[in-house]
């Protein structure tokens, strides 16, 4: 009887070892696919309109409310926030045309446009920034994204994670990114980037919470820190989120 029980336990241990070995051999693209299946199981991201209100908490104690609209169906984007008692707005439409406003007015003086960062390039950078961060992990399937096939078992913020390295074609970007996923659910738990990894520059971002709407699981609050000094840079907190399909 004891020999039989020992055989069963040995078999279970061997099975567990095989499963762990298989898990360690998961490829980067398979990990990404599993994470997308968790966050966007119905593949809705490309058709979603996201209406998001954020509180951006700063190290000096100030809070800047921001309103972000990402309309993937139309390819449109809008960002508004208050700074120095003025309301700034940037818009990009599906044709990549831009409009920028201060207090609902278009600024025509070129010097003020540059000083206030109301240029067309700035509008497009805001669009790319928010669409990327709030479209993760789905945005990691965009053209020019290079997924490292090797997945690492490591820790992030004191928790075990699966880590995936991402680089980009030169025409897209030069930073090196690492994305961290829960090893059980494949939920995105955070990420970091380096301009020069050898110098440990760049930043890392901790994710807290999930907002579940229309079958999608959108990462909520994001806290930003420097890689080198571990210094807190700010936190973006959800105030409200509305997802709709066009």
Report pLDDT for 8: 46
| Count of helices and strands (H, E) across the chain | 4, 12
When comparing pLDDT for 8 and 57, which is higher? 57
pLDDT in tens, 202-235: 999 999 999 999 999 999 999 999 999 999 999 9
For the domain bounded by 26-245, which CATH number is listed?
A: 2.50.20
Q: Is the pLDDT of residue 239 over 50?
A: yes
pLDDT in tens, 19-48: 443 445 899 999 999 999 999 999 999 999
Name which of 18-22, 139-143, 148-152 the model is least confident about. 18-22
Q: Residue ranges of the domains in the chain?
A: 26-245
The position carrying tokens 């298989």 is 22
Sheet holding 48-57, edge to edge: 98-102, 86-92, 76-83, 63-71, 48-57, 232-245, 216-226, 203-213, 188-194, 176-181, 159-168, 145-156
């Amino acid at each position: 009887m004891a020999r039989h029980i020992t055989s069963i336990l040995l078999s279970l241990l061997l099975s567990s070892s095989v499963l762990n070995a298989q898990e360690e051999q998961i490829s980067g693209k398979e990990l990404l696919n599993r994470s997308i299946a968790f966050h966007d199981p119905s593949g809705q991201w490309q058709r979603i309109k996201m209406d998001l209100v954020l509180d951006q908490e700063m190290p000096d104690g100030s809070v800047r409310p921001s309103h972000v609209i990402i309309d993937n169906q139309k390819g449109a984007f809008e960002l508004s926030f208050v700074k120095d008692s003025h309301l700034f707005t940037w818009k990009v439409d599906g044709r990549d045309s831009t409009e920028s406003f201060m207090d609902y007015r278009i600024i025509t003086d070129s010097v003020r446009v540059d000083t206030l960062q109301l240029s067309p390039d700035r509008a497009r950078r805001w669009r790319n920034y928010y669409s990327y961060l709030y479209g993760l992990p789905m945005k990691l399937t965009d053209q020019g994204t290079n997924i490292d096939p090797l997945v690492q078992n490591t820790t992030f913020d004191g928790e075990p994670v699966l880590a995936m390295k991402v680089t980009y074609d030169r025409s897209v970007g030069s930073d090196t990114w690492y994305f961290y996923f829960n090893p059980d659910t494949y939920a995105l738990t955070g990420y970091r980037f380096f301009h020069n990894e050898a110098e440990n520059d760049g930043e890392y971002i901790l994710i807290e919470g999930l907002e579940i709407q229309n079958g999608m699981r959108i990462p909520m609050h994001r806290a930003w820190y420097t890689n080198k000094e571990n210094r807190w840079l700010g936190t973006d907190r959800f105030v409200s989120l509305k997802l709709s399909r066009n």
